[in-house]
Amino acid sequence: MQIIGIDHIQIAMPPGEEDAARAFYGRLLGLREVAKPTHLAARGGCWFEGGGVKIHIGVEADFVPARKAHPGLLVRDLARLVEVLEEAGFRTIIDQPLDGYNRRYVSDPFGNRLELMERE
């Protein structure tokens, strides 16, 4: 028995914030929204996919953002993505170097931390 991969990651958001999730994950990060299964759609939230990544944004009634724990997302053209995010009002943060990568941190509209990584 062994773990062979990750099917998806789940990130939480407060109730009723689907439009903000669509604007950030869909329009800014360029992921496409996919329909949730009917029996899960009633819970709210949004699912996104693109480039082999699946991100599920789930509703959490007593939401607290993940400010330290985070997914590391591989990207192409990090410089352009940083421009897009900052033009939209999302501040990106440079952290200590990591061999083989250029990277930045950004918080989604709900305060969840994301690491954006581009291989050098």
Convert the pLDDT of each residue in 30-60 to its tens digit. Answer: 999 999 999 999 999 999 999 999 999 999 9
**Does some domain include residue 51?**
yes
C-alpha distances in Å from residue 86, one per residue of 40, 95, 96, 97, 111: 33, 16, 20, 21, 15
Per the structure, the count of domains in the chain is: 1
Residue 1 is assigned to a structural domain of this protein: no
CATH of the domain at 40: 3.10.180.10
For residue 53, what pLDDT is reported?
Answer: 96
What count of Cα atoms within 13 Å lies in the side-chain half-sphere of residue 24? 24
Give the model's confidence band at 97: pLDDT under 50 very low, under 70 low, under 90 confident, else very high: confident
Each residue of 3-14: b (16+ CB within 10 Å) or e?
eeeeeeeebbbb
Phi, psi angles (nearest 5°) of residue 5:
170, -175
Could you tell me if residue 26 is inside a domain? Answer: yes
Q: Phi, psi at residue 111, to the nearest 5°?
A: 95, 5
The reply to whether 43 falls in a domain is yes
pLDDT in tens, 53-95: 999 999 999 999 999 999 999 999 999 999 999 999 999 999 8
Neighbouring CB atoms inside 10 A of 113's CB total: 17
Q: Which domain holds residue 46?
A: 9-119
Give the residue-averaged pLDDT of 16-32: 97
Is 90 inside any structural domain? Answer: yes
Confirm whether 74 is domain-assigned: yes
CA distance 71 to 48: 14
Tell me: pLDDT of 114 over 90.
Answer: yes
Please tell me the pTM assigned to this model: 0.94
